[in-house]
Amino acid sequence: MELLPQVLISGIMVGSLYALVGLGFVVIYRATKVVNFAQGEMMMLGAILALYFSTDLALPYAVSFLLAVLTAASLGVVVERVAYRRLLQAPVVTLILATVAVGQMIRAGVRILRGSEVSRFPSLFSADPFVVAGVSVTPLSLSIIAISVLLVVAFILFFRKTLIGKGMEAMSENRDAATLSGISINRTFSMIWAMSSGLAAAAGVLMAPLIIITPDMGSIGIKGFIGAILGGFNNIGGAIAGCFLLGIIESLGGVYISSSLKDVISFAALVLVLSLRPQGLFGSPEAKRA
């Protein structure tokens, strides 16, 4: 009886992390029409950096969190400057491959610097469960949900309410018209890559206490992408809803079907949705010629 709510809560927690990563995917896609295959690696990097700052340098948790996010964001900006910006005129395929290459470099680079050792990351909040209305929850999972949701809401408000955020939206919608209104395409792209990388890193730091940190944990990041596609890649709200949905589906599937097939289930959902409803469950179809 009590299993289902338990599973739902863990689904929501996982979904909120996917939403952070997925938001980063969507922001970049809307502006550049590119899927950033390095997003998962940015997430992994966030976890590794936080681990480094808090364990190796013994900095407080909050400072480590912030530093990890800022470092990842700056790396995002640097990569955009050095590599992606030169490829803006190239075919989309080229840019996609470039992000694949960057992802591979981050993954292998971390392995070179830190080895493949697996590590656990301490959390600020306890993982000891307490029971509320018959459901046991941990302060840890609640804190993860709270921080992720807070970040997602903050970003949505930023895009909807601030002039800079609206300018970035405008640039994503219509480059020429945004340029004519005085918005710099280069500056916007720098900000977009910084934000997207920072979001991924934040997801990585939040996720770290739950899982074992390895250079390969980035493959989880791709779930944010799948969730975003499930919901609809073109609209931020739909994409985030899709991420939560994916988290819940996975948790349900993991408990009621088989935990080792969890990843297969999510990819199957992806292929299914792409074949039946390419615009996503909550997205509106893009105009396409016959």
- Among 4, 83, 75, 8, CA closest to 247: 8
Residue 167 has φ and ψ, to the nearest 5°, of -60, -40
CB of 73 to other proteins, least distance (A): 20
Residues facing residue 213 across a β-bridge = 119
Task: Pick the binder of other proteins from 101, 132, 157, 257 (CB under 8 A).
Answer: 101
Name residues contacting other proteins, limited to 47-76 (CB under 8 A). none
Is 182 an interacting residue with respect to other proteins (CB under 8 A)?
yes
Chain centroid to CA 121: how far? Answer: 19
CA-to-CA separations, 16 to 181, 199, 206, 245, in angstroms, rounded: 35, 12, 10, 10
Residues facing residue 132 across a β-bridge = 135
Q: What would the x/- binding string for other proteins be over residues 201 to 230, using CB under 8 A?
A: ------------------x--x--xx--x-
Which token pair is 80? 């955009």
Cα(192)–Cα(123) distance, integer angstroms:
29
Is 89 an interacting residue with respect to other proteins (CB under 8 A)?
no
Cα(25)–Cα(192) distance, integer angstroms:
10
Quick one: CA dihedral 27, 32, 36, 42, positive or negative?
negative
CB of 270 to other proteins, least distance (A): 6
Is 88 an interacting residue with respect to other proteins (CB under 8 A)?
no
Look-up: residue for tokens 């309410």? 161
Cα(first)–Cα(last) distance of the chain, in Å? 51
Task: Pick the binder of other proteins from 149, 170, 255, 281 (CB under 8 A).
Answer: 170
Only segment of 50-58, 108-116, 119-127, 196-204 that touches other proteins (CB under 8 A): 108-116
Is 111 an interacting residue with respect to other proteins (CB under 8 A)?
yes
Task: Pick the binder of other proteins from 4, 63, 88, 92 (CB under 8 A).
Answer: 92
Residues facing residue 119 across a β-bridge = 213
38 versus 68: smaller Cβ distance to other proteins: 38
Interacting residues toward other proteins by CB under 8 A: 29, 33-35, 37, 83, 86-87, 90, 92-94, 96-98, 100-105, 107-109, 111-112, 163, 166-167, 169-170, 173-174, 176-185, 219, 222, 225-226, 229, 260-261, 263-264, 267-268, 270-271, 274-275, 278, 287, 289-290
